[in-house]
Structure 1
Amino acid sequence: MSDWNTEAEMFELMKAKLYTPVVGDILDVMGYTHQFLPQAIRPIKEGMKLAGKAMTVLMIDVYGPQKKPFGLLTEALDQLKENEIYIATGGTKRCAYWGELLTATARTPKAVGAVLDGWHRDTPQVLEQNWPVFSCGCYAQDSSVRTQVVDFRCPIEIGQVTIEDGDIIFGDIDGVLVIPKAIAEEVVVKSLEKASGEKLVRKAIEDGMSATDAFAKFGIL
């Protein structure tokens, strides 16, 4: 039985009580062994954490001025909903995929973060908005003549992880996880149980129990 009544409450509980290693462990046990995005995708500031529903975005490289700069970017931004996370991939990372104004736009409908398989820019201006952004790093090169959005709310793949629109995204300093929406509630319930168990194991070890005895008793390490 879950400890929340709404999705928003589940996301807040995840941010307050869970961390990606324990959730990743549960996914492994359930047979989902390739759910972490590449290690290069990290929070742009230590302490940033996000949990929400994926709004998937697909990008491609372009070369030079376009009849419709940025492609479907503005349409994608306008589609963002409360508790969603803008997650984008595509192209060859020739420019920044995110910045100050996109952050301001995404915050308006109460979207809860952005995950970029690429670079961000305007770092000080993004940070002052106190809104979670995860990327491969910063690079100031503009996107208007180098990339565009060609589709959104479509299946995408990042680092051999398939992401469907509406899947649950959970990220912290240790990485970014994709939780298939069909199993999200079960994963969160089991992760909360494991997190509580790990606290008991740590207490037992700090009180003098050996690692071997602790594992034999709790089955957690």
Structure 2
Amino acid sequence: MLYKIMPAKKKKEEIGMEEEKRGFSQEEIDHFCEELKRFNSPLVYDALFFKYGLRNQILRKEVKPVLRDMKMAGPALTVRGNVKAVSLDEEFDRAGRGPLGGMWVRVADMVEEHPNCIVCVQPGYTEVSVLGDILGMTWKYAGMQGLVCDGPVRDTQGFLEENIPVFCTDTFPICAEGHWQMLEGNEPLWMHGQLGEVLVNPGDFIFGDSDAVLIIPKECVEGVIEDCLKRAGNETVTKQSIREGMKARELWGRDGHGGQIG
């Protein structure tokens, strides 16, 4: 299936927030990653929705982890590609860019500059697998934390052996060489969301677990973590009250709706 990818809008137009870019140190980024991994996607989604009014930050439901216990959280490094017919002689010409528009080498170079990132691929085409374990392994050892592909991947056993979190729509062995190429990297990217197109800017935080993949605008990440901590604490109290026999009407009278923080 061939998709039309929309041009990226500025985030200010997309979510009505300040466009000022947040620059974080690597130490801060690593801290945010570890904090986010303490939570789950419902907590993160509720924080985005109730605190910031951001409802459409979730990728389409077909994007799932290869194994259900996979979890990842980190800044996005975006990759966009689309259909392009190329002869195999040109594809594998050592003097050229390399297979798939040079994606293997180009992304590896970008990952080295953005350690602990999550490579986020929008192939624009879902009839072939645009990457496999050799690319993934190379990027992992360059500093990548995990991978999201809005399409199929292959070599899943290789990803599992290397303990690389992979979220994708499908898995099958059809390679993309000869008719798909990377177009650009680390630029604003539109992904297919569950409620419409989702904008991913480089450096936005990706959160993925067994339920969903969510996009956290980088200017919201600190607030999301703070909100999730409160929500997780409230849920712990509520669940313990249920175990101790408190009824639904009592819980409602005491706590109100679970989405409220108070």
Whether TM-score is above 0.5 comes out as yes
Aligned Cα root-mean-square deviation (Å): 1.5
Gapped runs of 5+ residues in structure 1? none
Greater share of strand residues, 1 or 2? Answer: 1
Instruction: Report the 3-state secondary structure (helix = DSSP H, G, I; strand = E; otherwise coil) of the residue aligned with 2:130.
Output: strand
Could you say which residue in structure 2 is the equivalent of 1:195? 232
Could you say which residue in structure 2 is the equivalent of 1:175? 212
Could you say which residue in structure 1 is the equivalent of 2:81? 59
How far apart in 1 are the matches of 2:231 and 2:224? Answer: 10
The Cα of 1:62 is off from its aligned counterpart by 1.6
Letter of the structure 1 residue corresponding to residue 180 of structure 2: T
How far apart in 2 are the matches of 1:215 and 1:88? Answer: 43
Could you say which residue in structure 2 is the equivalent of 1:70? 100
How far apart in 2 are the matches of 1:18 and 1:198? Answer: 12
Letter of the structure 1 residue corresponding to residue 67 of structure 2: K
The Cα of 1:64 is off from its aligned counterpart by 4.2
For the 8 Å contact 2:108–2:142, the answer to whether it is kept is no
For the 8 Å contact 2:48–2:224, the answer to whether it is kept is yes
The Cα of 1:220 is off from its aligned counterpart by 4.2
Letter of the structure 2 residue corresponding to residue 41 of structure 1: V
Q: Which moved more, 1:172-181 or 1:64-73?
A: 64-73
User: Are 1:140 and 2:173 matched, yes or no?
Assistant: yes
Q: 1:100 aligns with which of 133, 139, 153?
A: 133
Letter of the structure 1 residue corresponding to residue 40 of structure 2: Y
- After the TM superposition, list the runs of 4 or more consecutive aligned residues in structure 1 that deviate by more than 6 angstroms: none
How far apart in 1 are the matches of 2:150 and 2:208? Answer: 14
For the 8 Å contact 2:41–2:209, the answer to whether it is kept is yes
Could you say which residue in structure 1 is the equivalent of 2:55? 33
Task: Map Cα deviations across residues 143-183 of structure 1 (whole Å, 9 max, x no partner).
Answer: 11121110011111112010000000000000000000011
For the 8 Å contact 1:53–1:84, the answer to whether it is kept is yes
* Percent pairwise identity: 30
Could you say which residue in structure 1 is the equivalent of 2:159? 126
Gapped runs of 5+ residues in structure 2? 1-26, 91-96
For the 8 Å contact 1:22–1:191, the answer to whether it is kept is yes
TM-score by length of 2: 0.79
Task: Map Cα deviations across residues 63-106 of structure 1 (whole Å, 9 max, x no partner).
Answer: 34264531141212221121100001032212112211011111
For the 8 Å contact 1:72–1:151, the answer to whether it is kept is no
Letter of the structure 2 residue corresponding to residue 83 of structure 1: N
Instruction: Report the 3-state secondary structure (helix = DSSP H, G, I; strand = E; otherwise coil) of the residue aligned with 1:214.
Output: helix
For the 8 Å contact 1:91–1:147, the answer to whether it is kept is no
Could you say which residue in structure 1 is the equivalent of 2:222? 185
User: Are 1:219 and 2:240 matched, yes or no?
Assistant: no
How far apart in 2 are the matches of 1:58 and 1:77? Answer: 15
- Number of equivalenced pairs: 216
TM-score by length of 1: 0.93
User: Are 1:18 and 2:30 matched, yes or no?
Assistant: no
How far apart in 1 are the matches of 2:145 and 2:250? Answer: 42
